């Protein structure tokens, strides 16, 4: 019986992986360094060696239904990583085939990390039972996965759903790593919160404990700590961030009419500081026909397990 899947999440620094059963329990896990491998071949060799003990734990490859992989710029249709800026291997990498061959023919499916999070949430988390929802990951950047009718939206080329790169400030917007200006993630990611803090400290006279910190190293956690201590400036930063997110969500609702928007990532730990302004701005700006129809949910996946669970959920549909 093929009662298990393997989930692999490839990041620029580390690759984490786990053996997962049908209930969404991680039975064994591990990690290797992504960044030490300038070439893909030794990386695949080390990954396969690290996966072998997990496979042996359930008997053999015959017990593994499939392998799901979440990675930057991973294309579900082609099985390739295509020109991922944060990974050491450039160009197009036939990742699914390489992993399949290295693990004795286990079927492999790949997608980008935010899509993997959406599939994981639908399989194991807050979106279980939902057919139409949008997953938003608020981390170093802003990622997203869009589910319509129970199916993840990939678009014709495999790269649909880059909501973090919807432009929210067209006039003199912040420069983005994608090469454009004013993208959502430049304002509402963890790094966006830090950028806002630096701008506020530079342009506003308000006293704040943040002024005691080196502006170049201020983090979103610093802003959170100051806000929780009652700093009005830090609270204003979260109000600004949540308002931009809520305005963007009102627009997202207009084109898929989701049952829910599910939020995941470190920034959600700010709780009401960011959730309340998101809700207020979303409700103020949403088209009347959609008013009150979309829930705002927080991910139920444990953060330390979410990457592996999200990737593993893709393994059940690998062919």
Model confidence over 165-216: pLDDT tens digits? 999 999 889 999 888 999 999 999 999 999 999 999 999 999 999 999 999 9
Spatial separation of the C-alpha atoms in residues 305 and 21, rounded to whole Å = 13
Decide whether 4-119+304-315 matches 129-300 in CATH topology: yes
Domain boundaries, the chain: 4-119+304-315, 129-300
The pair of structure tokens assigned to 23 is: 């209930």
Spatial separation of the C-alpha atoms in residues 206 and 47, rounded to whole Å = 51
User: 312, 317, 319, 313: which is closest to 19 by C-alpha?
Assistant: 312
- Residue 317 — very low, low, confident or very high, per pLDDT cuts 50/70/90? confident
User: 297, 211, 314: which is closest to 249 by C-alpha?
Assistant: 297
- Residue 72 — very low, low, confident or very high, per pLDDT cuts 50/70/90? confident
User: Token pair 């500081």 is at which residue?
Assistant: 273
CATH top-level class of 129-300: alpha beta
Spatial separation of the C-alpha atoms in residues 77 and 110, rounded to whole Å = 8
Architecture of the structural domain at 4-119+304-315: 2-Layer Sandwich (3.30)
Specify the pTM.
Answer: 0.89
């Amino acid at each position: 019986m093929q009662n298990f899947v393997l989930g692999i999440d490839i990041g620029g620094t580390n690759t984490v992986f786990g053996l997962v059963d049908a209930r969404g329990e991680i039975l064994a896990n591990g990690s290797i360094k992504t960044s030490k491998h300038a070439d893909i071949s030794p990386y695949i060799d080390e990954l396969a060696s690290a996966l072998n003990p997990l496979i042996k734990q359930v008997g053999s490859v015959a017990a593994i239904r499939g392998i799901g992989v979440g990675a930057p710029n991973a294309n579900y249709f082609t099985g390739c990583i295509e020109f991922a800026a944060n990974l050491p291997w450039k160009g197009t990498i036939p990742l699914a085939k390489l992993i399949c061959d290295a693990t004795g023919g286990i079927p492999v499916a790949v997608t980008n990390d935010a899509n993997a999070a959406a599939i994981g949430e639908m399989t194991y988390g807050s979106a279980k039972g939902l057919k139409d929802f949008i997953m938003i990951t608020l981390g170093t950047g802003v990622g997203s996965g869009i589910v319509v009718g129970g199916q993840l939206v990939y678009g014709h080329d495999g790269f649909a759903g880059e909501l973090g790169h919807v432009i929210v400030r067209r006039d003199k917007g912040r420069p983005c790593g994608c090469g454009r200006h004013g993208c959502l993630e430049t304002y509402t990611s963890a790094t966006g919160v830090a950028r806002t803090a630096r701008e506020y400290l530079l342009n506003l006279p308000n006293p704040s404990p943040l002024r005691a910190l080196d502006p170049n190293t201020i983090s979103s956690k610093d802003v959170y700590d100051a806000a929780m201590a009652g700093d009005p400036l830090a609270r204003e930063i979260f109000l600004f961030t949540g308002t931009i997110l809520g305005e963007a969500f009102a627009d997202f609702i207009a084109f898929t009419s989701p049952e829910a928007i599910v939020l995941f990532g470190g920034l959600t730990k700010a709780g009401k500081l960011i959730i309340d302004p998101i809700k207020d701005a979303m409700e103020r700006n949403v088209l009347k026909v959609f008013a009150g129809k979309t829930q705002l949910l927080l991910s139920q996946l444990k953060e330390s397990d979410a990457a592996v669970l999200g990737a593993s959920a893709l393994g059940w549909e690998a062919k």
